[in-house]
């Protein structure tokens, strides 16, 4: 039972444009959400997170939006750079400290 879903396995974007990665979840008990970036042959690295009490969190070029009523979150990358090409995983946390991951979206930024 996949509680966190990333329905787009891949996404291609031109350099300088916006990348929007989407994530849906089913469990209304999730109270914290995270995005991780993974390069091939490396472990995932933490990117940005958001608490369920917020609807937006920004960190430089990265912004995460949370729509609790729709059980949907998205990661915006502006402007996209070739170095952003990686697999992005969405994750959700439920008590106590249990983390659930999506299947990932492979982002390719075209120079």
Partner 1 sequence: EAGVTQSPTHLIKTRGQQATLRCSPISGHTSVYWYQQALGLGLQFLLWYDEGEERNRGNFPPRFSGRQFPNYSSELNVNALELEDSALYLCACRVSGNTIYFGEGSWLTVV
Give residues in contact with partner 1 (CB under 8 A): 6, 32, 34, 36, 41-46, 49, 51, 89, 91, 93, 96-104
Query: Nearest distance from residue 31's CB to partner 1, in Å?
Result: 8
We find the least distance from the C-beta atom of residue 21 to partner 1, in angstroms, to be 14
CA 94 to CA 110: how far, in whole Å?
A: 36
State which residue, 42 or 60, has the beta carbon closest to partner 1: 42
Q: Which is nearer to partner 1, 45 or 81 (CB)?
A: 45
**109 contact partners, CB below 8 Å, separation of at least 6:** 12, 13, 14, 15, 19, 80, 81, 82, 83, 84, 85
Residue 61: CB minimum distance to partner 1, A: 20
């Amino acid at each position: 039972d996949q509680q966190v879903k990333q329905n787009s396995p891949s996404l291609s974007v031109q350099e300088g444009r916006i990348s929007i990665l989407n994530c849906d979840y089913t469990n209304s008990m999730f109270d914290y959400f995270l995005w991780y970036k993974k390069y091939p042959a490396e472990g995932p690295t933490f990117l940005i997170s958001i608490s369920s009490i917020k609807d937006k969190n920004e960190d430089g070029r990265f912004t995460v939006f949370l729509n609790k009523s729709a059980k949907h979150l998205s990661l915006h990358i502006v402007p996209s750079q070739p170095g952003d090409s990686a697999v992005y995983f969405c994750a959700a946390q439920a008590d106590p400290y249990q983390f659930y991951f999506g299947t990932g979206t492979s982002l390719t930024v075209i120079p």
